[in-house]
Amino acid sequence: MTDVPEFASTSLASAFPETPPGRRADGVWRGAWRRFRRDRTGTWAMAVVLAYALLLACTGSGLLARHWQDEVAVPDAPPAFLGAAGDTGIAPQASVAASAAGPDISDVDPLAPRYREWNERAARDHAQAKPLTATLPFGGDRLGRDVLAKTLKGTQISVSVGVLAAIVATLIGASLGAIAGFFGGRVGDVVEWLYNVLTAVPEILLFFAFAAVFGRGISTLVLIMGLTGWTSQYRQVRAEFIKHARRDYVRAAEAIGASAGARMFRHILPNVSHVILVRMSLLVVGFVKAEVILSYLSLGVATDQVSWGTMLAESQSELILGHWWQLAAATVAMAVFVTAFSLMADAWRDALDPKLRGQT
């Protein structure tokens, strides 16, 4: 982990290609990046988030946890560091071998001559199946699946749902906010009504309603959360646009003939982009948690998929039997991600806020 800051710096520099080649620019992003790096907590949090991103890439491309659905261990196999459970009550391999060498009963059983052949075939089949292990690095679930692999796969689904939903919500919220804030008047009123109606309905009810209409699945989740979660982004972007639309530099742009679109997107947007970015990162955290709740309520991902939420839902019944590892794995993965992401967002807000610039 010692080389993490360098890794972080290169990947961020490519994420914000703010400086065109051949130009000397002391740009907003570069300055923010300098201030960000001074925040040690923020830098470490970002390293953790980037590690998650790497994990996402690995599981997404199938490098990791591709066979998470395979039955690799005995049901509810405990973690390796706890040791195998005393008596699993199963001795699967012995009985088949015993029956292969029985007494000759071809007189009474016309099929008896073929037993041998069948036994051989059966023996071949067994040779292909992997033996089930008694323990796994972080235990197994009720179906003998590896909890670690499940967690990795679940992380992929949960995080990508959170990030995609945050992007959808930001697109909706930021564009509506920009329109309402910039134009105001009738246009602003209409958008404001939409906002008021949407926020008047409890969020969980909206989730239920959308889930009932769209059915289950990742794309549905993204859509649901994007369509219900844009309100906070909208509110903030609208406020910023109202403030900036009256500032002299925007009026100066109007005086030189810049169109409304140019003023909104070329002039104001870069000046409020830090607000949008930070709000979006907060949305990611919120949506990751919302996905967990929805999947727990079985409104989330499909049954053949795994997410932190479905893992938590499963672990409810396991916990009674004392099988705590699935709960622990999902909780730790989620807690670390959410904490790191929040800390990173905090550090970014401080680094990007022009009012804090130049202070110690």
Partner 1 sequence: MTASPLLKVEDLHVAFRLLDARGRSHRVEAVGRGEQGVSFEVPANTTVALVGESGSGKSVSAMALVQLLPRNAECSGRVLWDGHDLLSAPRAHMQRLRGREIACVFQDPVSSLNPVLSVGQQIAEPLRKHLDMTRAAARRRAADLLAEVGIAEPGRRLDAYPHQLSGGQQQRVMIAMALACEPQLLIADEPTTALDVTIQRQILELLARLQRQRGLAMLYISHDLGAVGEIAQQIVVMRQGTVRERGSVRELFEHPRDAYTKALLACRPRLDERPRRLTVIDDVLSEPAREPAAPVRNVDLDLAPRRADDDDPVVLQVDGLGKSFWLRSGLVKRVEFKAVQDVRFTLRRGHTLGVVGESGSGKTTMGLTLLRLNDGASGPLAGRVLFHGHDLLALAPADRLAMRRRIQFVFQNPYESLNPRFTIGQTLVEPMTIHGIGIDMPVRERRAREWLQRVGLDADAMHKYPHEFSGGQRQRIAIARSLTLSPDVLVLDEAVGALDVSVQAQVLNLLKDLQDELGLAYIFISHDLAVVRFMADDVMVMKDGRVVEHRRTEALLAHPQAEYTRRLIGAVAHRPATTTPR
d(CA 162, CA 290): 8
Separation of alpha carbons 212 and 196, rounded Å: 23
Q: Which residues of 331-349 are buried (b: 16+ CB within 10 A; e: fewer)?
A: bebbebbbebbebbbbbbb
Binding of residue 270 to partner 1 (CB under 8 A): yes
* Residue 255 lies near partner 1 (rule: CB under 8 A): yes
CA distance 68 to 159: 17
Q: Which of 10, 11, 34, 57 binds partner 1 (CB under 8 A)?
A: 34
Vertex 31, ends 29 and 36: CA angle to 5°? 90
Nearest approach, Cβ of 50 to partner 1 (angstroms)? 21
- Please calculate the CA angle 122-126-132 and round it to the nearest 5 degrees: 150
Nearer to partner 1, 61 or 359 (CB): 359
Of positions 134, 258, 293, 302, contacts partner 1 by CB under 8 A: 258
DSSP 237-299: HHHHHHHHHTSHHHHHHHHTT--HHIIIIIIIHHHHHHHHHHHHHHHHHHHHHHHHHHHHTT-
35 binds partner 1 (CB under 8 A): yes
In sign, the C-alpha dihedral spanning 159, 160, 166, 170 is positive
Query: If binding is defined by CB under 8 A, does position 128 make contact with partner 1?
Result: no
| 271 touching partner 1, by CB under 8 A | yes
Q: Is 190 in the site for partner 1 (CB under 8 A)?
A: no
Identify residues 7-26 at the interface with partner 1 (CB under 8 A).
23-26
Pick 37 or 289: Cβ nearer partner 1 = 37
**Site map for partner 1, 327-356, x if CB under 8 A?**
---------------------------x--
Q: Does 358 bind partner 1 (CB under 8 A)?
A: yes
38 binds partner 1 (CB under 8 A): yes
Number of residues that bind partner 1 (CB under 8 A): 33
Alpha carbons 233 and 239: distance in angstroms, whole number: 10
Closest CB to partner 1 among 60 and 354? Answer: 354
Report the nearest approach of partner 1 to the CB of residue 255 (Å). Answer: 4
What counts of helices (H) and strands (E) characterise the chain?
Answer: 15, 0
Give the interface with partner 1 as residue ranges (CB under 8 A). Answer: 23-28, 31, 34-35, 37-38, 185, 247-249, 251-259, 262, 266-267, 270-271, 354, 358-360
